[in-house]
Chains A and B, each alone.
Chain A
Amino acid sequence: MRMNIKRMSLKQLQALINDGGPEVYAQVVEVLGSDPRGGAQKLVRQCRARLEALERERERLQRMYTYERQLWAKGYKLVAGINEVGRGPLAGPVVAAAVILPGEVELFGLEDVKRLSSKRRKELYDLIQEKAVAVGIGMVHPDGIDEAHVMLATYKAMAKAVENLPVTPDYLLTDGLHLPGVSQPQAPIPGGDSQSCSVAAAAVVAKVARDEYMIEMDKQYPQYGFANHKGYGTQEHRLALQRYGPCPLHRKSHGVVQEAAPLTGVLFADD
């Protein structure tokens, strides 16, 4: 490989760098480091910059294992990150995921799921599914659109995600929510998406799983455009809702829920 690189033209090298990985960068720097040609030095600078970016990314990911590392050091082996998506939309379930990572897996590009493109999310999703010790998913349709219903569905989905893990975790890291009634110790990590790889990975899994579900539901209820907005309140969705009325996936609003339903119009006695 190294001999090859020495014999290559600068043009060939550029092509190699463009679709090569970190090993290529290091070799180019080594081989061309003392090459006087301007083009060679340009390639070296390019490779150095890429290596530095890679190093920064490694460090960032290592920081995102701070909580996990502490717990692993304490002897917890199966630390599950838990996260949830779908609290805000007008339709569809709240989806939670629990992810147990085997150690400091380098999930390059993993960050707050809201900042990832759908393509990147899917790539990370596949990588997480491949590397994770266990992945559990919980899906719950809220009975209503108001906060109490959605929160209840959120917690239920989280509990289900943990339950659906093929192994029992011994510690839970959540995205700031405290899950009542579980036997494991837990720590809420506010802003966990950017603080913990397990929590961020769980968000990616939940998001991709929910999107896939909504795309599937689009076939059943094609008039709303679920494949595009996934149930969120876009203009397309609102217009369709006005035109066709709600489907079973839509969260019931206060006005729509019948008086007899147990959770409507609840009041404190002393209100």
Chain B
Amino acid sequence: MGRRSTTAVGRAGEEAACQFLTAQGYRILHRNLRFRAGELDVVAEEDGTLVFVEVKTRSGSSYGTAAEAITPRKREQLVRLAFIYLARQGQERPCRFDVVTVAPTPGGGWQCELIRNAFGIR
């Protein structure tokens, strides 16, 4: 799994995802929040809930479900990062993990799919 953020497609996809999330009523707090242990794509807020959003950008050719896209290892990493973030904020608050899949459309746009509460803590 390569670093999506280093590719132009990935960056454009994240931009599209953020626009999509904003349109859904999310308030974007951080993008590409880097920690030594990894990166949180998007940290947002919706109705008082802190939402950690993982953005999955697909290139045009390959396709799969969002469930396939998040491996257990990735999930564990995201949960860890989220708790580092929460600890740094110094507060406990309702949070959840969402996944947005972004795929380019033939017309040059992006098709976004949002999965709220995609996974939890195991």
Q: In the assembled complex, which residues on chain A have CB atoms less than 8 Å from the CB atom of B93?
A: 178
Stretch with Cβ within 8 A of A (4 or more), from B16-24, B59-67, B84-92: B84-92
Residues 80-117 of B, flagged 1 when their CB comes within 8 A of A and 0 if not, give: 10011011100011111100000000000000000001
A219-271, CB < 8 A from B: 262-269
A25 proximal to B (CB < 8 A): no
Q: Is A159's CB under 8 angstroms from B86's CB?
A: no
A35 proximal to B (CB < 8 A): no
Q: How many residues of B contact A (CB 8 A)?
A: 27
* A147/B87 contact (C-beta < 8 A), A180-B95, A181-B97 known: yes
Residues 143-160 of A, flagged 1 when their CB comes within 8 A of B and 0 if not, give: 000111101100110110
Q: Is B121's CB under 8 angstroms from A155's CB?
A: yes
Interface centre among B38, B49, B80 (most CB of A within 10 A): B80
A3 proximal to B (CB < 8 A): no
Q: Name which residue of chain A comes closest to B83, CB basis.
A: A152
Q: In the assembled complex, which residues on chain A have CB atoms less than 8 Å from the CB atom of B36?
A: 262, 264-267
A1 proximal to B (CB < 8 A): no
Least Cβ distance of B9 to chain A in Å? 22
* A181/B92 contact (C-beta < 8 A), A146-B87, A266-B84 known: no
Which bracket fits the contact residues of A?
20 to 34
B122 proximal to A (CB < 8 A): yes
Q: In the assembled complex, which residues on chain A have CB atoms less than 8 Å from the CB atom of B97?
A: 180-181
A interface secondary structure, majority: loop
Q: Is A263's CB under 8 angstroms from B80's CB?
A: yes
Q: In the assembled complex, which residues on chain B have CB atoms less than 8 Å from the CB atom of A73?
A: none
B29 proximal to A (CB < 8 A): no
B42 proximal to A (CB < 8 A): no
Q: Is B120's CB under 8 angstroms from A179's CB?
A: yes
* A268/B88 contact (C-beta < 8 A), A159-B120, A159-B121, A179-B120 known: yes
Q: Is B122's CB under 8 angstroms from A156's CB?
A: yes
Least Cβ distance of A179 to chain B in Å? 7
Q: In the assembled complex, which residues on chain A have CB atoms less than 8 Å from the CB atom of B37?
A: 262-263, 266
Q: In the assembled complex, which residues on chain B have CB atoms less than 8 Å from the CB atom of A267?
A: 35-36
Q: In the assembled complex, which residues on chain A have CB atoms less than 8 Å from the CB atom of B95?
A: 178, 180
A167-189, CB < 8 A from B: 176-182, 188
B35-68, CB < 8 A from A: 35-38, 49
